Amino acid sequence: MYAFAQRKDTRVVDEPLYAHYLNATGARHPGRQEVLAAQDNDGNRVVREIILGPCDRTVLFVKSMAHHLIDLDPAFIDQTVNVILTRDPHEMLPSLVYQIPEPMLSDTGLDQQCALLESLRKRGQDVPVLLAREVLLNPEAILRRLCDRIQLEFDPAMLSWAEGPIPEDGVWAPLWYHNVHRSTGFKPYRPKTDPFPQRLKPLLETCIPLFDHLAMHAFRVTAQAPGCGRT
């Protein structure tokens, strides 16, 4: 999202369906009341007026979460160019617990990402899949390939930004965006070295095949090794 926010031809919207998701599921996320107060809770109206509505730039980039699409008619994705970004659950789950201490599969979005990928492929869309690790290993190569796939000219401005928040951040940014607010670009990839939490291992086992399925379709700049798409 921060990369696309640097493009002069692009308007960025941060998770416009978050309040819809919280309202539909009752999920007790940090900052729940602030999100519900700040955003339209009607997901269908958000799709109609924001995602498919008028835009003052050539490109509208909507950052969303796959599980935020709950209780919505998926037909609108036929009118959008869709990209899936996913992260190895070995690295994602230990980070997720800082905001959601007892995560379930639905909190990871991996099952919804797989379902979305298959739905889009059946609809005839050749969906780019990005792995967070690969993006960090070679941001320019991955972003160039992505722009080529979605028929945008690559802009070098996408590779860096000023430290701190951006106006496009959702109201949840102070709770979720600590690392990106300290960044000025894509930080070099650093594998996690802490032992994986024992209590998360059952969820990890459920997540691995879902991530592996997504990883099979992903852009790569490094050789792939067996096991959860990692090298």
Domain segments of the chain as ranges: 2-215
pLDDT, position 89? 97
Residue 220 has pLDDT above 90, yes or no: no
Query: How far apart (Å, rounded) are the C-alpha atoms in residues 58 and 8?
Result: 9
In this prediction, residue 117 carries a pLDDT of 96
Indicate whether 231 pLDDT > 70: no
State how far the Cα of 160 lies from the Cα of 121, in Å rounded to an integer. Answer: 32
Class of domain 2-215: alpha beta
Rounded to an integer, the average pLDDT of 64-75 is: 95
DSSP for 115-142?
HHHHHHHHTT----EEEHHHHHH-HHHH
pLDDT tens sequence across 90-117: 999 999 999 999 999 999 999 999 999 9
pLDDT in tens, 75-88: 999 999 999 999 99
Number of Cβ atoms within 10 Å of the Cβ of 35:
22
Per-residue confidence band for 192, with pLDDT thresholds at 50, 70 and 90: confident
What pLDDT sits at residue 226? 41
How far apart are alpha carbons 111 and 229 in whole angstroms? Answer: 16
Categorize the per-residue pLDDT at 224 as very low, low, confident or very high, splitting at 50, 70 and 90. Answer: low
In percent, the amount of the chain with pLDDT more than 70 equals 96
Is the pLDDT at 229 greater than 80? The verdict is no
pLDDT tens for 111-156 read 999 999 999 999 999 999 999 999 999 999 999 999 999 999 999 9
Q: How many angstroms separate the CA atoms of 140 and 81, rounded?
A: 20
Contact (CB, 8 A) for 154 and 143: yes
